[in-house]
Structure 1
Amino acid sequence: MSPDSFVSRAEDGERVPTSWGELNWKITGDSMVGAEMTFGTCLIHPGQRNPLHSHPNCEEFLYVVSGSCEHRLGEDVVMLGAGDIIRIPQNVRHWARAVGSEPVFALIMFSTGQRRAVDHEGGGVA
């Protein structure tokens, strides 16, 4: 057992640029053999939001590190700021929009290493 098979370094990850920001998948079942969770970061530019989507095979935690956002969870919208975390149940449609002048930077965690996403707007979800 090598420590390298359990550590994701700062320069590691699969960076996925989007029209609204960037996702960086640090640990997935594909990138780290045996991983039973997915961990990544999410950057959303001011005034932008990710598409309405859901996850059919897992729940998600989103922890706001900096910035603030409104987060749609089903039919409700809640405001989140630095230090807030939201649990998004499996199959619940959601999105996050950065509000204010600074981007939102968040940590995102999923309850499976093989996270799937369903796009409910047709714009593509990474």
Structure 2
Amino acid sequence: MKRLIVILIMVGSLSACNTKTDKTMNTTEIFPPGEQLPNEWFTGNAFLKPLVAKDKNNDFSAGCVTFTPSARTNWHTHPKGQVLLVIEGNGLYQEIGKPAQVIKKGDVINIPENIEHWHGATANDKMVHIAITNFKEDIQVTWLKPVTDEEFGLANR
């Protein structure tokens, strides 16, 4: 419960990981996009800004992930599940054997353990989410094959 409260406070203070400066609102970036994620596990341009690392107090990590249009993860699983908090844009989430679903700002996606899935931006929009990923021992993700262009095209219909 203590971890959940910390996460909710952390997320509640964020309007977006990379809010741009707006002349009328006078806002600035909360978090820069971070480092580009490897093409070994992502298609397109995706960036990670780590927020919370696994340590003696936390059996999870949290990071802000920015997907440019058409960027997406490979298919993958999490041995102890994952939660995505969409904070900007429009994206897609798909579990193996099920149709893709559109996800948007304000959506919370609770991904059960060991469910093969992928997520990312739509073909025309960027998407930003906070990913909270649990660990089982020292493993938090098992990367699988890339999402094909055909699979991605069908998800964008």
Once the 2 structures are TM-superposed, how far is the Cα of residue 122 of structure 1 from its aligned partner?
A: 6.8
2:74 aligned partner, one-letter code:
P
2:48 to 20, 23, 34: 23
Structure number with the higher helix fraction is 2
2:109 match: 86
1:67 is paired with a residue whose SS is strand
TM-score (structure 2 length as normaliser)? 0.60
2:88 match: 66
2:127 to 82, 104, 108: 104
CA contact (8 A) 2:73 2:146 kept: no
Aligned length: 111
TM-score (structure 1 length as normaliser)? 0.73
1:17 aligned partner, one-letter code:
Q
Structure number with the higher strand fraction is 1
2:25 match: none
1:117 to 129, 141, 146: 141
* Structure 1 stretches of 4+ moved >4 Å: none
Specify every segment of 5 or more residues in structure 1 that has no aligned partner in the other structure, as ranges: 1-5
1:75 match: 97
Higher relative contact order (CA 8 A, sep 6+): 1
For residues 85 and 16 of structure 1, the distance between their equivalents in structure 2, rounded to whole angstroms, comes to: 24
- Spell out, residue by residue over 1:70-89, the C-alpha distance to the aligned partner (whole angstroms, 9 max, x if none): 11123222111111111111
Report the structure number with the largest CA radius of gyration: 2
For residues 87 and 70 of structure 2, the distance between their equivalents in structure 1, rounded to whole angstroms, comes to: 17
Identity of aligned residues (%): 17
